[in-house]
Amino acid sequence: MSTVKIQATEYSISKVFSKDFVFTIPLYQRPYAWKTEQAEELLEDLITALGDGNKTIEEINPYFLGSIVLIKGDKPDAQVVDGQQRLTTLTILIAAFRALIPKELTDKLTKYLYQEGDPFEGTSNIYRLRLRKRDAEFFNEYIQNESGIGKLQGLNVSKNSDSCQNIKENALFFVQRLGQFNESQLFRLVQFLVTRCFIVIVSSPDFDSAYRIFSVLNNRGLDLSLTDILKAEIIGEIPDIEKEQYNSQWEDIEDYLGRDDFKELFSHIRMISRKAKLADTIIKEIREYVKPLGNPQNFINKTLIPFADSFEQIKRTSYTSTHRALEVNKLFGWLNRIDNSDWIPPAILYLSKNYNDSDKLVSFFTELERLAAGLMIKRANINERIGRYGRLLTAIEKEEDLYTPQSPLQLTSEERNDILDILKKDLYLIEKIRLYVLLRLDAALSGGDASYNFPTITVEHVLPQSPNPNSLWMQWFPDQKERGNFVHLLGNLLLLSRKKNSEAQNYDFAKKKQTYFTSKTGVANFALTTQVLMEQEWTPEVINKRQKHLIDKLKEVWRL
């Protein structure tokens, strides 16, 4: 039977921030991330719970501030497994109160922030909460020490971490909001916070059992990221002498990718190893198939770092090389316009394995864009896509020839026929693919040098969907059925860098060209639109001719 003891006890804030606890944020924890939105919610909840009645503090209902999970034995030292955001924010709030109350009372609040050292006994201040190493000095100086908050206004923290920026903004918000209260209201609110607000502290002296509690709470819906859990597990397995080095590398990756992209990266790492659709939780499948705990240093050095670098360059089109980098980044740009991210794992794997061979990269990503676009156009479902990319991952790992007709990277003859059939029909009605197809086509017509950084790009009809009865359109297309056969075809579509104008869409062709299809400078921003401006009339024959020309161009682009 296990001798590990798990305790769960309710404590008032005055007891939480006392000599009974010395909270430390372990290296593997994520940075302080609460924004002013969360800080405001906490404070407003406290103000609402206190109310504005005449009850004594003892008569007011207690307020529950949630639970925190600690690794803690019999001594005050306590590692925070879950609860960093709340403890840090409460510390900032207490410091804000201290900055606003009469000077003779500040010592009464300072004791909740740190236990004062004794120079005669040679002891230093013992801070109730110690943040991660990279934030601790800032937190001590500007939050926990006296007069620290007063130095924050106008302080440039751009050179510091994002967590320091969050600390500054939340501290200044608290000071501004609490400054709206008079002295007696502030005194009453402090009383309520320290005596009638409670936290349940769940503690265990053992990391594994504390982490299990953390995981259970996460499964019940607390806002804990899967990367936080993985970080706790992976960094926790590294010997203490190396922990800080690898923790720093982890956080550097998380900082430059951003938390959302960092979380997405792990789903791609899972796919690279599993090569199949998610069948369980991401965490469980990473443990089972990626196996980062077997050799955590190797996982960080050989998997996380190179895959993060590749992912970042793909997402931000930032590949660098002395040879063909522009071509590679243009292909990344097209892939990023695909309406799913299932292509990313093989892209990451191939780039990380062939980073220094830009010729290989151009060849591979040309084919990958063709495949991804083809699957998108034929509306392949997620099972088809995942199965296809899973086979491609296997082929990449085995270093198979990816350019044979049988390779999973190549479109089959049946797939090419299906794609062509879709492109030849009413393309406009397939909203999810029409813009991509037209942009890809426009780039090919412009020689590949076009840029599409417009805030708005719309797909427009030349022949309107509902032309005016007395317009020239009705002379060119007198038969309603024939008109319907042409209106949504690729040959009748163009691109505009402006929002739709329902009135302009029905103009006659000459007026439409002059007032709607050109920019303010009198020219078109797209090669597709320039083509239309060169036509003197817009008849069935013109559309048929243009349809054939554009389809032929797409056949060339995607080798259909």
Query: Mean of the pLDDT values across residues 424-444?
Result: 94
What pLDDT, on the 0 to 100 scale, is given for residue 160?
Answer: 66
Q: How confident is the model at residue 144, as a pLDDT?
A: 93
Q: State how far the Cα of 288 lies from the Cα of 471, in Å rounded to an integer.
A: 67
User: What tokens does 398 get?
Assistant: 């085995």
At 223 the pLDDT is: 46
Q: Report how far apart, in Å, the C-alpha atoms of 404 and of each of 235, 367, 407 are.
A: 43, 12, 5
Distance CA 294, CA 289 (A): 11
What is the tens place of the pLDDT at every residue in 489-537? 999 999 888 776 665 667 788 888 777 777 666 667 788 888 888 889 9
Q: What is the pLDDT of residues 85-137, one digit of tens each?
A: 999 999 999 999 999 998 888 889 999 999 988 888 888 889 999 998 878 99
Q: Tell me: the pLDDT tens digits for 177-210?
A: 999 999 999 999 999 999 999 999 988 877 666 6
Quickly state the pLDDT bin for 449 (edges 50, 70, 90). Answer: low
Residue 411 pLDDT > 60:
yes
pLDDT value, residue 43: 93
Averaged pLDDT of the chain:
89
For residue 67, list its beta bridge partners. Answer: 200
Check residue 343 and give its pLDDT.
98
Report the share of the chain in percent with pLDDT over 90.
59
Average pLDDT over residues 354-363: 96
The residue to which tokens 């699957």 are assigned: 375
- For residue 220, pLDDT beyond 50: no
pLDDT of residue 507: 79
The answer to whether the CB of 132 falls within 8 A of the CB of 23 is: no
Question: Per-residue pLDDT for 2 more than 60?
Answer: no
3-state DSSP call for residue 229? helix
> Confidence band (pLDDT; 50, 70, 90) for 307?
very high
Which range among 28-42, 73-87, 149-163, 477-491 shows the weakest confidence by mean pLDDT? 149-163
Can you give the three-state secondary structure of 135-193, one letter per residue?
Answer: HHHHHHHHHHCCCCHHHCCCCCCCCCCHHHHHHHHHHHHHHHHHCCCCHHHHHHHHHHH
Question: Could you tell me if residue 447 is left (phi over 0), alpha (psi between -120 and 50 degrees) or otherwise beta?
Answer: left
CA trace torsion 161, 304, 79, 224 (10° rounding): 80
409 CB neighbour count, 10 Å cutoff = 22
Asked if residue 219 has pLDDT above 80, the reply is: no
Distance CA 402, CA 392 (A): 8
Residues in the chain: 560
Q: What is the pLDDT of residue 174?
A: 95
pLDDT value, residue 7? 74
The per-residue pLDDT for 38 is 92
DSSP-assigned letters across all residues of 45-105: HHHHHH-SSS--GGGSPPEEEEEEEEEE-SSSEEEEEE-HHHHHHHHHHHHHHHHHS-GGG
Q: What pLDDT, on the 0 to 100 scale, is given for residue 546?
A: 95
% the chain with pLDDT above 70:
92
Rounded to an integer, the average pLDDT of 399-403 is: 97
Residue 302 structure tokens:
């050989």
Predicted local confidence at residue 221, as pLDDT: 38
Q: CA dist 446 to 297, 452, 518, Å?
A: 48, 12, 17
Q: Which amino acid is it at 58? A: E
The residues with which 460 forms a beta bridge, in sequence order, are 494
Is pLDDT of 432 > 60? yes
Question: Whole-model pTM?
Answer: 0.70
What's the pLDDT score for residue 501?
63
Per DSSP, 226 falls in state: H
Average pLDDT over residues 422-451: 90
Q: How many CB atoms lie within 10 A of CB 352?
A: 19
At residue 222 the predicted structure's pLDDT band, cuts being 50, 70 and 90, is very low
Q: What is the mean pLDDT of residues 374-403?
A: 96
Angle between helices 207-219 and 226-236 (to 10 degrees): 170
Which span out of 46-50, 397-401, 479-483 was modeled with the highest average pLDDT? 397-401
Lowest mean pLDDT segment, chosen from 1-5, 22-26, 184-188, 421-425? 1-5
CA dist., res. 489 & res. 429, Å (int): 9
- pLDDT per residue over 65-82, tens digit each? 988 888 888 899 998 888
Lowest mean pLDDT among 19-23, 43-47, 450-454: 450-454
The alpha carbon of residue 423 and the mean position of all alpha carbons in its chain are separated, in whole angstroms, by 33
Say which residue the tokens 């290296």 belong to: 27
Condensed to tens digits (0 to 9), the pLDDT of residues 232-244 reads: 889 888 988 998 8
